[in-house]
């Protein structure tokens, strides 16, 4: 019985460590904007992400994180609007790791702005 409790306790701690905090990994006191070509979209839990290659930095790839797919769907975020290969401009909180940021809003190639701030995510046309 003690070993089962120990294993359960270790798995809970391991799960907590696997999920990382936005405040720990991103500077919420400043914003940056990147422009480039969308190369990957991954809708996942606990965090979804985009990958963007920026030509002004010699083809550097950026990892842009945002909410879990479950959270984004509950907020009616238009998950189907991101198209790999299209140009995109993204504004967000810079990461403490190089070439990472946390998504706040994007402007798509057709001019649509997808804003995600606080408890809501919505398009602005």
Boundaries of every domain in the chain: 22-124
Tokens of 108: 């798509």
CATH number of 22-124: 2.40.50.140
Instruction: Check if the beta carbon of residue 48 is closer than 8 Å to that of residue 114.
Output: no
Give the range among 8-22, 45-59, 65-79 with minimum mean pLDDT. Answer: 8-22
Whether residue 2 is predicted with pLDDT greater than 60 in this model: the reply is: no
Strand blocks (E) in 48-112: 48-54, 60-66, 87-94, 100-108
Give the pLDDT of residue 105. Answer: 92
Q: Can you give the pTM of this predicted structure?
A: 0.76
Q: Which of 119, 118, 117, 114 is nearest to 38 (CA)?
A: 114
Measured distance between the N- and C-terminal CA atoms of the chain, rounded to whole angstroms: 59
Instruction: Check if the beta carbon of residue 71 is closer than 8 Å to that of residue 103.
Output: no
pLDDT band at 79, cuts 50/70/90?
confident
The CA distance from 6 to 9, in Å, is 5
Structure letter (DSSP) for residue 84: T
70 CB-near residues (< 8 Å, 6+ apart): 45
The CA distance from 28 to 14, in Å, is 26
């Amino acid at each position: 019985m003690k070993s089962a409790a120990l294993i359960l306790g270790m798995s809970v701690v391991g799960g907590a460590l696997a999920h990382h905090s936005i405040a720990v990994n991103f500077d919420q006191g400043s914003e940056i904007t990147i422009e480039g070509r969308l190369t990957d979209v991954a809708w996942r839990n606990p965090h979804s992400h985009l990958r963007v290659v920026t030509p002004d930095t010699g083809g550097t790839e950026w990892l842009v994180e945002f909410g879990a797919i479950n959270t984004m769907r509950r907020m009616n975020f238009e998950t189907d609007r991101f198209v790999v290969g299209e140009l995109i401009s993204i504004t967000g909180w810079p990461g403490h790791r190089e070439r990472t940021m946390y998504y706040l809003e994007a402007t798509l190639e057709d001019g649509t702005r997808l804003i995600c701030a606080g408890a809501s995510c919505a398009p602005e046309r």
